Each structure stands twice: as C-alpha cells, then as structure tokens.
Structure 1
Amino acid sequence: MEVFAAMRRVAHEFGFRHVTLFASTSPDEMLLSRIIVETTLPSSYVQEFDRRRLLRLCPIAPIVAGSVLPHCWSLDEPENIRGFAIPATMEELQRRHGMITSVAMALNSLDGDRFLLRFDGVRPRLTQVELNEIGMLVLHAFNVFDKLRRSARTTVVGPLSSRELEVVRWTAQGKTSAEIGRILSLSDHTVNAYMTNAIKKLDCVNRTQLVAKALRLRLIM
C-alpha cells in the first residue's frame, strides 16, 4: 500500500488523475476487476467496463508487453499517430471518466509474474524526457513492491510449492481444472493433485476455502 501511495504521488506530479496496477492474466480473461491489484479508478468505471466486456477488445496489453519502455498515447491523436485503434465504446467510456492521455508500462517480477502499471488523465502527451523519468520512477517503485511481495510470500507460503501457487492463483480467477491444465500444459489429474496438496497444506476443506485463505494470507493477488 505504501508503494502504491508513492505511485499515486507520481501520478499527481505528472498531471494524471488515475494510476492502476494490473496483474497479467490469460488471453481469455473477460473481467477487468479480476486483474486489478490496486487502482484509483472509480468503481463505476470498472463496473461499466466489465458490464460491456471491453477487456477482450482492449488493444493496449499486447502492445505494451512487447517493450520494456513506457508507452504513451492520447485519445485526441489520430489513429495513424497513436499506432492502434480504440473501440468506440471504450473511447466514449474513457473520455467520460477523464482518461484522455495514458501511459502504460509492462513490469516483470523476478519470480516470473507479470504486471502492468498504467496512468490516465487529462494532460498533453508526455515528452520523451518525462517518459524517461516516469519509467525510472516506476521501475524503482516496482522493485520495492516486488521485493516486499516475494518476501511476504516466502514468509507465509510454508510448504506450498510454486506450482501449487500457480494452480491456486488460476482457481481464484475462476478457471476449472481443465482450463488450468491447458494454461499450464498439465493434465487434469495433475492439476487436481496440486489442488488437493494445497488444500491439505493450508488446512482447508475445499477449493473455495483454499482460495479465500490464500487471498487472506496474500499468497496470491
């Protein structure tokens, strides 16, 4: 929370209204609310975004994922300058919530987890100097966040293996054993075995209790 508070100050200093940290997810994820780690976006925006199922139409993640540098764009730019099309329904929603100019940056944890940090607001497009500066600030903040996250995970995970954590994390996102198996290239039987082990290790009785306990202990986000 302290790291995210620092990112809120960065957003303010650069003239942005909102900052959001997303966790990466599978391409078939449908809901924005499931991948938000922290955000200053109003709940009304997230709810309408999910009601319209706009996540599957969002062009940003694949573009940003291809670079280690922050990517900036504006709704007021022509499509040929911006470099990608934005669906009309998404543009209307973002304009209504004052999300005209945006910056997004892909971030990779040392343990392989992927995140995306995004700033949104009403201001001119960032200069290259500003992009460089905000990129360095984000990297420093994420480095602290990642150390704290991995330290907390190491402290409370106990006997859970990294593969068991993966299975629990995907279960928390509503995936079935068959879907998790396809994502992780495992058989249904193996996925269920990991799930059973995790249930026993965290002293739970079923998957629902396991996910709730894992979230409470911040084993997953």
Structure 2
Amino acid sequence: MITLERQSLISKHLSSAETQAEVVTALSRIAYHFGFTYFTLANAPVSTDNLLEPLIVETTLPIDYIRTFDENRFLPICPLVPLMKNMVLPLCWMCRPPDVEGGPPQFPAALCNLLLDHNMSTGVAMPLQSSDGSSYFIRLDGARPLLTLPELNEVGMLLLQAFTVYDRLRREAPATAKLLSIRELEVLRWTSQGKTSSEIARILSLSDHTVNAYLNKAIKKLDCVNRTQLVAKAIRLRLIN
C-alpha cells in the first residue's frame, strides 16, 4: 500500500472513532501496516518505577514477555527510558547487545535476548502528553528493518492522531467507564455475548489465564460477586450494550 493511501485509510478510521476500543483497533492496524507485531500505550516511567506492567494502559505484547521483563527488573536498565525523556519526535531503534557494533541504544545482553526471543528486534516509540499534563508513550515492536525517515514521519503523525483521539475519548467517557480498561471492557462484551474464557482467549489472542484475570479485575472494580452480576451491572451502567 502506498504511503498516502495507507495514511488516509488509517487517519479516516481514527477520525471516525467513537470509542477507545476503536482507537486500540487502529493502533493494531498502524503496527501491522508498518510491519510491526505489537503495540503498547503506557504511562511514561519515572525514576521510581521498576515494573512495566503497572504502567501499561493497552498492549498486545505477550503476557510471558511482560512477566519475564518485570521478573528481571529490566525497566530501570532499559536504554530507551532515558532517551525517551529528551525526545519529542518518534525514536526508532534496532536491538543490539553490548558486544555488537552499532549506534545507540545498546541493550544489556539479557534484555536483548528477551526481545529477540519474541521477534522484537526493531521498535519505534513516541512520547506523548495528555491534555491534563500526564506523560505517555506509544511503542511499536516487531522484526523489520529500521524505518526510513519518510516512514518515521508518517508513523509519528498517525501515533499523535491516535493518542489525541484516545485522550479526548478518555476525558469524555463516563466516570464509571473509566474504572475499566479497554481490554476489560472488550472481554466483558464478549462475555455478555455468551462466550467462554477459552473462546474469548482465541478471539483476542490471549491466554485463558489473562482473560480470567481481566474479568476478575472488572468484578472487583464494579463490586460484583460473579460474571452474571458483572454483565448485568455493566449493561445497567451502559458500559456495554
């Protein structure tokens, strides 16, 4: 797909988005169209943060990658964190261990191995600022050559548009809806349609354990005792149709 056609298609989808879930779908499309496998929307880490998972707002990263990343406390030693603090434009990189020649950033060998094990040799990330002053970033990961400058400019414009729309919808959402993440709402919608955890896991490319975790979090947040009550309350609060 040529650049203008690709940008127009994704931009049109973002402009018509009416829910945060639609923006998440658009982010997945952006990742796909630029040859990446995963996307992550997360709060920007500060010096006291040691774990990635609590920062994540939305992601398609494999749960075992996130778990291993946090078990090894890779966040404080990730070379991207200090670089992102001084960036206003997208940052693109290729994973290189310390003993391989190349430009920055250079990753600790163990972190580089984890990235390569999950086919995440190349990435691009963009720091973003919400309307309330909070700092975020969107990151794409996969296995492709480094982005060209025109590609980097294009992906930067699309990520900025995606976040602008997401941030606006987040602010406009009812207070009750903000209690649940996009993934929790997504799992909840499928549950309301009679899907089992295993079926939802296959639809969303998640593990059964992750689906159940999302449902359990939603049950606690909405002060329910089981899934049946959760679905009924979510419909009553108009969180789902």
SS of 1:82's partner is coil
Counterpart code for 2:129? N
- Following TM superposition, by how much is the alpha carbon of 1:81 offset from its aligned partner in structure 2, in angstroms? 4.1
Q: Deviations over 1:52-101 (max 9, x none)?
A: 11111112122122121101011259876432321111001000000001
Moved beyond 6 Å, runs of 4+: 77-80
Q: Distance in 2 between matches of 1:84 and 1:126?
A: 15
Aligned pairs for 1:107-146 (under 5 A) are 107-146=128-167
Counterpart code for 1:37? V
The match for 2:172 is 151
SS of 2:175's partner is helix
Provide the identity percentage: 43
Which of 52, 55, 71 is residue 32 of structure 1 equivalent to?
52
Gaps of 5+ in 2: 1-20, 177-219, 223-233
Counterpart code for 1:101? T
The match for 2:30 is 10
Aligned pairs for 1:149-188 (under 5 A) are 149-152=170-173, 155-156=174-175
- Following TM superposition, by how much is the alpha carbon of 1:38 offset from its aligned partner in structure 2, in angstroms? 0.8
Whether the aligned pair in 1 keeps the contact of 2:96 and 2:112 (CA below 8 Å) is no
Q: Does 1:59 align with 2:79?
A: yes
Q: Deviations over 1:109-128 (max 9, x none)?
A: 01111111111111000000
Q: Distance in 1 between matches of 2:45 and 2:87?
A: 17
SS of 2:168's partner is helix
TM-score, normalised via structure 1 length: 0.67
The match for 1:170 is none
Q: Distance in 1 between matches of 2:150 and 2:35?
A: 15
Counterpart code for 1:126? L
Q: Distance in 1 between matches of 2:40 and 2:90?
A: 14
Q: Deviations over 1:181-205 (max 9, x none)?
A: xxxxxxxxxxxxxxxxxxxxxxxxx
The match for 1:194 is none
The match for 1:84 is 105
TM-score, normalised via structure 2 length: 0.62
Gaps of 5+ in 1: 158-210
- Following TM superposition, by how much is the alpha carbon of 1:29 offset from its aligned partner in structure 2, in angstroms? 1.3
SS of 1:150's partner is helix
Q: Distance in 1 between matches of 2:45 and 2:120?
A: 23
Whether the aligned pair in 1 keeps the contact of 2:52 and 2:66 (CA below 8 Å) is yes
Whether the aligned pair in 2 keeps the contact of 1:17 and 1:121 (CA below 8 Å) is yes
Whether the aligned pair in 2 keeps the contact of 1:74 and 1:82 (CA below 8 Å) is no
CA gap of 1:76–1:54, structure 2 versus 1, over 3 A, is closer
